[in-house]
């Protein structure tokens, strides 16, 4: 079993959702929720969480316009971050030559180095990025807690 897995990511997202709900209710251009995408070492495909506040995906275009497929945008952001080991704000703003066909120009991901990328879509770009970092840091905290648990058991190896 991988050290980082979907259950750990789900736990992190659930821990973050109350704060994310408050932030999205106050700092939005329309939608009151976001889509969260996470890719990490050991995960076969990205984890995706669509907040219930967004409602049915088939209504997004009618409610928020043509460019409101928040799930596709979050997945594009997380893939950019994952493939380049940096936030897509850094890619779009500082390393635009890394952009490829299909990449989004919207920012809103968290990635410090290889192994973990989080992206959010549905709010303002600065909100998406802040929420991404919150989720990223809670995932990090839960991984560190697993490390501490192994050490407390006297283990010096990840089993």
Domains and CATH numbers, the chain: 6-152 (3.30.450.150)
Residue 131 has pLDDT above 60, yes or no: yes
Averaged over 54-83, what is the pLDDT?
A: 95
In the predicted model, what is the mean pLDDT of the chain? 94
Task: State how far the Cα of 139 lies from the Cα of 98, in Å rounded to an integer.
Answer: 27
Q: What is the pLDDT of residue 159?
A: 67
Residue 30 has pLDDT above 70, yes or no: yes
| Three-class secondary structure assignment of 25-36 | HHCCCCCCCCEE
Task: State how far the Cα of 138 lies from the Cα of 10, in Å rounded to an integer.
Answer: 11
């Amino acid at each position: 079993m991988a050290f980082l897995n979907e259950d750990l990511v789900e736990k992190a997202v659930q821990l973050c959702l109350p704060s994310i709900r408050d932030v999205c209710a106050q700092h939005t251009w329309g939608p009151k929720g976001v889509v969260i995408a996470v890719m990490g070492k050991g995960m076969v495909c990205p984890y995706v969480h669509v907040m219930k506040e967004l409602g049915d995906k088939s209504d997004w275009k009618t409610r928020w316009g043509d460019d409101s497929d928040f799930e596709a945008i979050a997945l594009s952001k997380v893939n950019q971050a994952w493939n380049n080991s940096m936030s897509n704000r850094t890619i779009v703003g500082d390393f635009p030559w890394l952009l490829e066909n299909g990449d989004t120009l919207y920012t809103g991901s968290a990635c410090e180095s290889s192994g973990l990328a989080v992206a959010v879509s549905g709010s303002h770009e600065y909100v998406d990025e802040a929420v991404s970092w919150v989720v990223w840091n809670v995932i990090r905290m839960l991984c560190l807690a697993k490390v501490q648990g192994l050490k407390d058991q006297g283990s010096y190896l990840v089993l």
